[in-house]
Amino acid sequence: MTYSVWRIAREALRGNSGWQPAWRDQAPKPRYDVIVVGGGGHGLATAHYLAKLHGIANVAVLEKGWIGSGNAGRNTTIIRSNYLLPGNEVFYEHSMKLWEGLEQDLNFNTMVSQRGVLNLFHSDAERDAAARRGNSMRLHGADGELLDAAQVRTMVPLLDFDNARFPITGGLMQRRGGTARHDAVVWGYARAADRRGVDIIQNCEVTGIRVEGGRVRGVETTRGYIGAGKVGLACAGNTSRVAAMAGLRLPIESHVLQAFVSEAIKPLVDTVITFGAGHFYISQSDKGSLVFGGDIDGYNSYAQRGSLPIVEDVAEACVALLPCTGRLRMLRSWGGIMDMSMDGSPIIDRTSVEGLYLNAGWCYGGFKATPASGWCFAHTIAHDEAHALNAAMRLDRFATGALIDEKGAGAQPNLH
Amino acid sequence: MRIPCPHCGERGNDEFLYRGAAGLPRPPADATEAQWHDYVYLRDNPYGSHRELWQHVHGCRRWLVVTRDTRTHVIAAVTDVSMALS
């Protein structure tokens, strides 16, 4: 069923009796050409592009819970391509371009809103760093614009511009950045993949990976053994656990990242703002809630909930940046589990097991990467080699020294 | 999350600095690059009990080995590093 304004009008006249489920509820078949482990945005996007671009539709996506139950439903929905390093920026700019055409590609309203992403700076040194990053973005074909304090003030007048410690001296603006609707992204990819013949199998947890003679043969699951020609892991947060089933030990720690929404208020922030004097980012949802977050808690965790010091830290940053939010009530907070890699950048690569592929290490930045991650992972699985866009995101870069360390923090996952 | 420091008593986790897995065997100086790679970059990242290093920076400044469940954050044991790794 194709969604269109005509379909809506028709269903309005028929009492909405003709809508069908967006994807089939499939039981697993005995064997697939490709099994993707993890029914989050990245796994579903991988299946979609495998079927659409590489003609491989005998694909299953295995999800241990339900679609949208993991990090796809736990992020702050920001999309952007404002990276510095060549190994990252080409990839994220490709993702940005895919976001720009995603609704037409998927025939699903993913509510992509290019409301801009504004990185504030508060000193001359930060301004220089922002200018350098903006130049790198523009050299890679993305957009970037250096704004002075007056230009920022025109856009967001309620920021604390004349703060004694951290005066706002300007910002690096990416106008093509913005937000997308996180649930709609996974639903849209699931529906589009399903329409091309992909089986989306929920409540099916992988409990083992069968490897014979150095080659992957299939996966053991809570719904029985399923054979596979190739297996792709896209289960960030739990990557180490699943990869260990195939004997892999990875440069990844799992950490909890919290996010927050306030009660709904009238329009206050019509872009995405990041604080330059602390780790804090904020936007406003269509319902009116402020959506914001900050640092990870900083210790290994699979618990999907964090502790109070980070709640306090994020709230302090919020009030430091936007003093007018001081009496606003925080409505909800939640935690998601991040694959924190050893250099802060992701991995999309083959592994030492033939036919087993790895998509992992997204740290904070998985949501914005969803389309390009699936696109590149599908290419890597289909052709058994990386595309130029993910050529730098190798698993062996930690051994060769070709790290992509955007922040220069070294092998300290809780500092990325 | 609160960590029972053996020297200072139970304190909030914001008094502590986290330094990751404890007891990783440091390779000898003449070890191969592959051994150093494993030591510097690879982690077990367990789902469950995890032995990890915390420093009580806003207290006694001692390094501690904490055994904590990564699924629940429940702490099973805390030992001063001089007792745990000697």
Whole-angstrom distance, CA of residue B51 vs CA of residue B21: 6
List pLDDT tens digits, range A82-112. 999 999 999 999 999 999 999 999 999 999 9
Q: Do B44 and A241 touch (CB under 8 A)?
A: no
Q: How far is B56 from chain A (nearest CA, A)?
A: 14
- Residues of chain B neighbouring A412 (CB-CB closer than 8 A): 20
Tokens of A410: 């070294």
Q: Helical H runs in A21-72?
A: 41-53
Say if A339 is an interface residue toward chain B (CB within 8 Å).
no
Q: Do B41 and A300 touch (CB under 8 A)?
A: no
List pLDDT tens digits, range B7-59. 999 999 999 999 999 999 899 999 999 999 999 999 999 999 999 999 999 99
Higher model confidence: residue A108 or residue A412?
A108
Q: How far is B83 from chain A (nearest CA, A)?
A: 22
**Polymer length in residues for chain A:** 416
Q: Is pLDDT above 80 for A195? A: yes
Q: Is pLDDT above 90 for A262? A: yes
Whole-angstrom distance, CA of residue A74 vs CA of residue A69: 8
Q: Domains in chain B, please, with CATH?
A: 2-84 (3.30.2270.10)
Whole-angstrom distance, CA of residue A207 vs CA of residue A185: 27
Q: For chain A, what are the domain ranges?
A: 27-81+84-106+182-251+343-415, 117-175+254-341
SS3 assignment for chain B: CEEEECCCEEEEHHHCEEEEECCCCCCCCCCCHHHHHHHHHCECCCCCEEEEEEECCCCCCCEEEEEEECCCCCEEEEEEHHHHCC
Q: What is the mean pLDDT of residues A6-30?
A: 95
- Residues of chain B neighbouring A251 (CB-CB closer than 8 A): 41-43
Q: Which of A241, A245, A252, A302 to mutate to test the interface with B (most CBs of B within 10 A)?
A: A302
Give the model's pLDDT for residue A410: 86
Determine the residue of chain A that is closest to B48 in CA distance. Answer: A302
Whole-angstrom distance, CA of residue A254 vs CA of residue A337: 6
Confidence of residue B86 (pLDDT cuts 50, 70, 90): low
- Residues of chain B neighbouring A411 (CB-CB closer than 8 A): 40-41
Q: DSSP code of A253? A: E
CB atoms within 10 A of CB B48: 11
Say if A19 is an interface residue toward chain B (CB within 8 Å).
no
Q: Is pLDDT above 90 for A243? A: yes
Whole-angstrom distance, CA of residue A348 vs CA of residue A302: 22
Q: Do A250 and B1 touch (CB under 8 A)?
A: no
Q: Is pLDDT above 80 for A49? A: yes
Q: Which of A241, A298, A301 sits opposite B73 (nearest CB)?
A: A301
List pLDDT tens digits, range A60-87. 999 999 999 999 999 999 999 999 999 9
Q: Are A114 and A179 in contact (CB under 8 A)?
A: no
Q: How far is A346 from chain B (nearest CA, A)?
A: 14
Look up tokens 């805390």; give the residue: B78
Give the model's pLDDT for residue B10: 98
Say if A241 is an interface residue toward chain B (CB within 8 Å).
yes
Q: Is pLDDT above 90 for A408? A: no
Q: Are A313 and A159 in contact (CB under 8 A)?
A: no
Say if A309 is an interface residue toward chain B (CB within 8 Å).
yes
A to B CB pairs, distance under 8 Å? 67
Classify domain A27-81+84-106+182-251+343-415 by CATH number.
3.50.50.60
Contacts with B, A 65-104, CB within 8 Å: none
Q: Is pLDDT above 80 for A32? A: yes
Q: Which of B33, B44, B70 sits opposite A249 (nearest CB)?
A: B44
Those residues of chain B whose CB sits closer than 8 Å to some CB in chain A are: 1, 12-14, 18, 20-21, 33-34, 37-38, 40-45, 47, 50, 52, 68, 70-73
Q: Do A251 and B33 touch (CB under 8 A)?
A: no
Q: What percent of chain A has pLDDT over 70?
A: 100
Say if A252 is an interface residue toward chain B (CB within 8 Å).
yes
Q: Is pLDDT above 90 for A197? A: yes
Q: Is pLDDT above 90 for A416? A: no
Tell me the ipTM for this assembly. 0.96
Q: How far is B85 from chain A (nearest CA, A)?
A: 20
- Residues of chain B neighbouring A303 (CB-CB closer than 8 A): 70-73
What's this model's pTM, rounded to 2 decimal places?
0.96
Q: What is the mean pLDDT of chain A?
A: 97
Confidence of residue A375 (pLDDT cuts 50, 70, 90): very high
Burial A65-75 (b: 16+ CB within 10 A, else e): eebbebbbbbb
Q: Do B70 and A413 touch (CB under 8 A)?
A: no
Q: How far is B49 from chain A (nearest CA, A)?
A: 10
Q: Do B14 and A238 touch (CB under 8 A)?
A: no
Select the CATH number that applies to the domain covering A117-175+254-341 from these four: 3.40.920.10, 3.60.9.10, 3.30.70.20, 3.30.9.10. 3.30.9.10
Q: Do B43 and A249 touch (CB under 8 A)?
A: yes
Q: Which of B18, B45, B54 to mutate to test the interface with A (most CBs of A within 10 A)?
A: B45
User: In the Cβ-directed half-sphere of A249, how many Cα atoms lie within 13 Å?
Assistant: 10
Give the model's pLDDT for residue B85: 67
Give the model's pLDDT for residue A1: 85
Determine the residue of chain A that is closest to B1 in CA distance. Answer: A307
